[in-house]
Structure 1
Amino acid sequence: MMKILVCDDDEALVSMVRFKLSRENFGEVFKAADGREAKRLLDENTFDLIISDIHMPFHSGLEIVTHVRQVLKKNTPIIILSAEGLEETVLQAFDMGANDFITKPFSPAELAIRVKRLLNL
């Protein structure tokens, strides 16, 4: 069974993402409400996909990408979510190793399609 980590401090968004991914049978969805919790879960578990907000308490989504790529040395697919679609932020996320970037608000269907693509389903 696949394991997906969703990192976001917006409880409503996490619930929506969790509901959509569960409905699509993508596997078990774990949540981290902030960057510190995300790092702890990443250090203790192996995930098939990470979905992370860019702005979170303690550690940003970009710091999560760096932690996964440079500290943990993992190629886990990462989708970054952000309310700001600034080109500089998008390019920085990709440069650091993110696989995809979705600007909020987004449709659950769009997220599902991007997850399928990254997981090769």
Structure 2
Amino acid sequence: MNNKKKIVLAEDNSTLSLLLKFKLEKEGYEVLVAEDGKKAIELIEKHNPNLILTDIMMPFVSGLEVISHVRNKLNLETKIIVFSAAGQEEMVLKAFNLGASDFMAKPFSPNELTIRIKRLLL
């Protein structure tokens, strides 16, 4: 039986998503990568992850729309960490109002992200 915690990572920067996937898999998580918000929603609906990591600015469906879908359409309490480039305070506030659990400004430390994930998945 697979007891690994599942994480859906929605990030359109392929270099960053590969780095995070590698780092989180080394930490023992199962990581499902979505290159846009539309794919993220499909993965979330199919796999019901323990945690969602999402960039705010993505093609097709934004991270804000992903949060809204998870909270309002799927009615899930899944923890959500949002990433965004610095200087987007309004977006960050919207993300929290929609139900995000945590926020990290880009660029961020993968080690800090790992600590935040462990704290949320206790």
In 1, Cα distance between equivalents of 2:19 and 2:87: 21
Compared CA separation, residues 3 and 44, structure 1 to 2 (3 A)? same
Partner of 2:70, secondary structure, is helix
TM-score (norm 1): 0.94
Q: Which of 20, 23, 31 is 1:20 aligned to?
A: 23
RMSD: 1.0
Q: Which amino acid letter does the alignment assign opposite residue 6 of structure 2? A: K
Mapped to 1, the partners of 2:86 and 2:60 lie a distance apart of 19
Q: Which residue of 1 aligns with 2:12?
A: 9
Task: Report how far residue 60 of structure 1 moved.
Answer: 0.3
Residue type of the alignment partner of 1:118? L
**What is the number of residues matched between the two proteins?**
119
What secondary structure does 1:37 align onto? Answer: helix
1:39 & 1:54 partners in 2: Cα distance? 14
Runs of at least 4 residues off by over 6 Å = none
In the other structure, the counterpart of 2:48 is 46
Tell me the TM-score normalized by structure 2: 0.93
SS at match of 1:19: helix
* Residues 12-32 of structure 1 deviation map (CA, whole Å, 9 limit, x = unaligned): 00011111111212x210000
Match of 1:66 in 2: 68
2:109 is matched with 107
Unaligned stretches of 5+ residues in structure 2: none
Instruction: Answer with 101-110 or 80-89: which moved more.
Output: 80-89
Partners of 1:119 and 1:109 in 2: CA distance: 16
